[in-house]
Amino acid sequence: MESGRWKQWKKLKFEQKIIWLKAAICLVIIKTGLQLLPFGWFREVFKWMASSGQKRSTEIDKVLSTSWAVRSAAHHLPLSLLCLPQALSVKYLLRHEMDLKVQIGVLINQPGDLEAHAWVEWKGEVVLGDLPEKHFQPIWVWE
């Protein structure tokens, strides 16, 4: 008897499977880098790896399918893959896109109670990391 996940996998187009596999690999590498390296070093390595010579505009279908693949892989992999590795994975996979931004914001609820969140915007719209009703103050934008 086939599981529901296997049935879903079989229904995906070949291109969707490739994007999903790239997303899964990217998530694992970024999660590992975030855990092993000091953040300053990680940021420099990521910046170097994600830099691309020529920026161009990407079709909305590619942006949405990449965001879907990262969310889906993060949900199915046996790791805790929260908003930051997901946002950075989308940024890396769409590194040639000129209108893509990773934002990191904070929210101070009470003295000493800090929340942080990372999300991805494309042409001003959030494509990954839905913002809750809370208002996160952006402290860092990665274009």
pLDDT digits (tens), the chain, 143 positions: 456 666 677 777 888 889 999 999 999 999 999 999 999 999 999 988 888 767 777 788 899 999 999 999 999 999 999 999 999 999 999 998 888 999 999 887 777 778 889 999 999 899 998 876 678 888 888 87
Q: Are 87 and 81 in contact (CB under 8 A)?
A: no
pLDDT at 8: 73
pLDDT at 6: 66
Dist. CA 134–CA 53, nearest whole Å: 37
**pTM for this predicted structure:** 0.87
Helices (H), the chain: 4-11, 14-36, 39-50, 60-76, 83-93
* 2 CB neighbour count, 10 Å cutoff: 8
Backbone φ and ψ for 140, nearest 5 degrees, come out as -155, 130
Would the CA dihedral through 14, 17, 21, 23 be positive or negative? positive
Dist. CA 64–CA 62, nearest whole Å: 6
pLDDT at 4: 66
Domain boundaries, the chain: 4-142
pLDDT at 58: 77
